[in-house]
Structure 1
Amino acid sequence: MAIRTFNGKQPTMGSSVYIDDSAVVIGDVVLGDHVSVWPCTVIRGDVEAIRIGNGTNVQDGSVLHVSHA
């Protein structure tokens, strides 16, 4: 698992979060409690914030990114 800071912003995680070893979480990302992030997923909060609510699972191979509004 890779948790990376980007532009001074680091991902934050609630309790009981599972992130697969092959997943990448970058920048302004908040993972709520009991979130799971499965293999080969990328959650990239480099342009805008990404918030993932309690109990959410992000499935294999997902790419989450928000471009400029």
Structure 2
Amino acid sequence: MVNSKTRRSAEQRRSRHYNWGSADRVFKELFSSDKFKRYCYARCGRVIKTRVSGGKIRQDSKIENQ
């Protein structure tokens, strides 16, 4: 049985918080499961690198191939 209280607690488990940097860019995204994503930007404003809480780093393919 799903009621409003159960639905509300499920929404709270999946919450996200954002830390903003300069020029209105997201610097860090915090998930309610104690995980995070950190973003690095090029001067033109494009995301070039994303670091996740497990230590994995994802780079933009255009940057890797140059």
Give TM-score, length-normalised by structure 2. Answer: 0.28
Kindly indicate whether structure 1 or structure 2 has the higher relative contact order, using CA contacts under 8 Å at least 6 residues apart: 1
TM-score with structure 1 setting the length: 0.27
Q: Which has the higher strand share?
A: 1
Higher share in helix: 2
